[in-house]
Structure 1
C-alpha cells in the first residue's frame, strides 16, 4: 500500500521483462517457421519448374533437333542423344535448378521412312 492508503495497479518491472522475453521467443519461433515454409515452397516450385522445363526441352528437340535456352539464370540443362539403331535416337535432358535439384527425362525419337 502507498502512503495515501490506495493500492497500486499494474505490472512490476520484472513481470514486464519476463512478458517481453516470452513474446520475443515466440516471435523468433514464428519467424523460423515462416522461413522453413518459404524454403519448402521455393524447393517445390523449383521442382515443378524443372520437370516442366525438361519436358519443354524434349519438345523443342523433337521439333527443331536442338534444345532452347535455359529457363532462368543459374538454371542449367544438358541435352544428349544416343543412337539406337539406324533410325532411332534416345534423347535425354537433365535440368538442374539453383538448389541443385535435377529432373531427368528420356524420349525415344525415331524417323520413319516410307
Structure 2
C-alpha cells in the first residue's frame, strides 16, 4: 500500500453561485464520500484550503500575496488516501464530488518516502 495526495482544482466559482441550501447539500455529499473512504480505511487526512495565501521566494527575501493561479487551477483542498497502486488511487478519485460542480480535475500524486 502507498499513500496518495489528491489536489482538488476548480469548482469554486460554480459552488459560490449555489444557494445556502445547495451548498449545504453539496457539503453533505463530500462528507458521505469522505466518510465512506474512512470506513474502508482509505482516507488518512484531508481538508479544504483557504482562498488566500502567501508565496515565499528566495528564502523569504520576497513574500507576495498569492496564490496566483486562475480559478480553474486554484488548489481548493486535499485528501491523503491509501491505495495499493496508482490504478486504485485514480479509481477512488473518480467518485470525488468536485466533479458535480465544474471542478476541473483531481491531481493524484504518490507520496514518497524520504528514506533511501
TM > 0.5: no
Higher helix share: 1
Q: TM-score with structure 1 length normalisation?
A: 0.27
Pick the structure with greater CA Rg: 1
Which has the higher relative contact order, 1 or 2, with Cα contacts under 8 A spaced 6 or more apart? 2
Q: TM-score with structure 2 length normalisation?
A: 0.26
